[in-house]
Structure 1
């Protein structure tokens, strides 16, 4: 989303160091967030702190051909232990992603309100794993054009978050998304096949992805 006269609270990302802090302040309105993702920028800050904007170098992504499903996870998926759904409990998924983290969380009340607005506008989405009617795992993120930026995931049952992510990745591939971003690599995302690319290459791929006209959910026939 581009808007005439919009003032970005971040500097051009090519001017940032590898850590990637590019701005402080601004707001979390849908306009600001959509401009941020279009520039390869995302918010990440703690409760009570000013909004911080980041574009780290390198950037972590998941290529479809590299996504790794272990033998044990494949067995769990085949057994259909979990019911998988899309966008049926977005706010619950996001809230669960922010709970019970000993290191603290960036998913604070301000972020919850902002991304709930994005969900209602059709830009933020969730994939969920359910067991006996209870939400036990999920992942949420932002989809703009052909870009999907996965933000966080949680589980309450073994493999539940991985099942939800596998379901999401298959869905994104089927819908034609061109780029799946996971922002910063860690041991968990690396085990699932996440790789890193340079920030400049990432931003170039974002621009290509944004040009794609893709709906996260198939629109009903009219």
Structure 2
């Protein structure tokens, strides 16, 4: 037996005690809105994969001949809805945000011909503190989408390093030197690899990851990031 009247009462009570708020601006959501209010959803800063952006992407990793192409879905800027969403993903345990953001942006993306998907790892101490790697869910989603193998341990962190949040390009490059290693090079040798990260700032992290994979013998490299910033 169904009780639609009681269901509505329960729903209103839940909304009263646990109001749904926008993950972008923290305002109350209407019944029609999901995760983001209409204003924040309208303001999501998609990259358009224009020639200018493509050249900017290529300029980040021009020293790596194996890097074929890369894509970031959003332009990251502080004090915007995308910045608040990514902080929720990275530090507040909302792992679903990564795949949700990709689903919103798939019209702006053409899949790559890859065999393996590798998420950028984090140090075990940070993993213990945070409880999860914010990139794993996104990498798993992209591996399924590309019909590729997910290699969660394709790269590992060699040592602990200071946070890069406020560091410039030179600091980040020095901070990431020798940071990763490939524990199972035979699994990636002669493979086409997709590397997944959350935010590209100076490109230092991906740069070191690419060098590590190149030394492991991969055939070619692609990369995907949820967002990237021009403030380097």
Radius of gyration: which is bigger?
Answer: 2
Point out the structure with the larger helix share: 2
Point out the structure with the larger strand share: 1
Q: Do the two structures share a fold, i.e. TM-score over 0.5?
A: no
